[in-house]
Structure 1
Amino acid sequence: MTASPAASTAHAPTEPTSNSKGKMPPGMVMGPDGKPCKICTAFRNWRPGTTTGTEARERRPGGQNSTAAMMAAFASGAGGSSVFKGTTSTTSNSTTTARADAPPPNCPPDVEQLGRATWTFLHTTAAYYPERPTPTQRANMLMLLRALPLLYPCTNCADDFGEDMKLHPPDVSGRVGLSRWLCERHNEVNEKLGKERFDCAIEKTDERWKDGPMDGSCD
């Protein structure tokens, strides 16, 4: 998970240049074992040739885009869409269709799908967290958040989020505080990518993750 001001040098992903099959594609992320990390890499970079125009524009000069791609994946999903805005895929007749730059429906998730799913879970959990949680509920929420840097499959994302949690301890005092804390962590990543910040007022987070817009379009 990616949310700290800067990833730890010890855990910064590196971009491999070669293997037994020749030069590896830009954007592929190495895991802590020194091998290409599939769950840390966007499908478009694991399977060259699926890169979209949007992704090409997001790449950084000099080929240093593996960290940026991983951050973008966790912050806003594929193709520049945002989990804040709720636009994660192309639709046709209200039916979600597969994207060329995403894994087929029957395949394991890539870093982008995992990131979107994780943010969706965390933001929605915060929206339904009690206004006045009991000591047990607070302790359980803290355990959930502290478990992410230890258990999240993408180790580079997990280490980065863990470093951020040290700088900004979770606020589990109630759903308002927790919703804002998560929103601010998410916004930090979006800022690094030059993306628009989301308004972290509880009215806005509730509209996005709990109640839906006032126009009833989600009812």
Structure 2
Amino acid sequence: MPTTPSPALPDDRLAAGAARLAARYAGNFGPETVLGLLADSYRQLAAHARIRTHLVVLSERLAAERLDALAHTQGLTAGGRTRVLFVCSHNAGRSQMAAALLALRAGDRVTVSSAGTHPAEEVAPLILQALTEAGAEPADAYPKPLTEEVVRAADIVITMGCGDACPLLAGKQYLDWPVADPDQAPIAVVREIRDAIDAYITTLLTRLPS
């Protein structure tokens, strides 16, 4: 019986990451699933990347996040943490700040993700500065596309200015935080937006399981 060929990797440098992911998710997903998500993650990130220096590394990270989400929705991992997904247009400002602040405030109570309906090339430098000032660690933040696996795995989806672009799925709790867009804003305004988001985070934490 002929076998189905494995998906081709769009960059040969992804092979090492594919091997790591295949070993990490052995028993849950076959190599074809791993390769398919890794290749798709690369293509989606490459579509809006201006500088591709870290594209291979980021593709592996995105694929791992998607595989974790897929494993969760398929009941392959133990439950427990509430999964919160923040979505904005570019995943370079509001949703990045919200994700970093919730991770800082909630610790291991939650699994936090963020994504953009039209991801930017990079997180805005003033966003990183404002988060660092607040004690968050955003050094590894990067804009990510909104993928079906991550949406389906989320318990709470919080939109921040992306309108109707975020898909609505049954069984999810949806919130909308009407926060100003920090794009091109001076640092003083970015700090104000950060603090407004932090106030929403404080309220959200009172509603999450301890």
Q: Same fold (TM over 0.5)?
A: no
Of structures 1 and 2, the one scoring higher in RCO (CA 8 A, sep 6+) is: 1
> Structure 1-normalised TM-score?
0.29
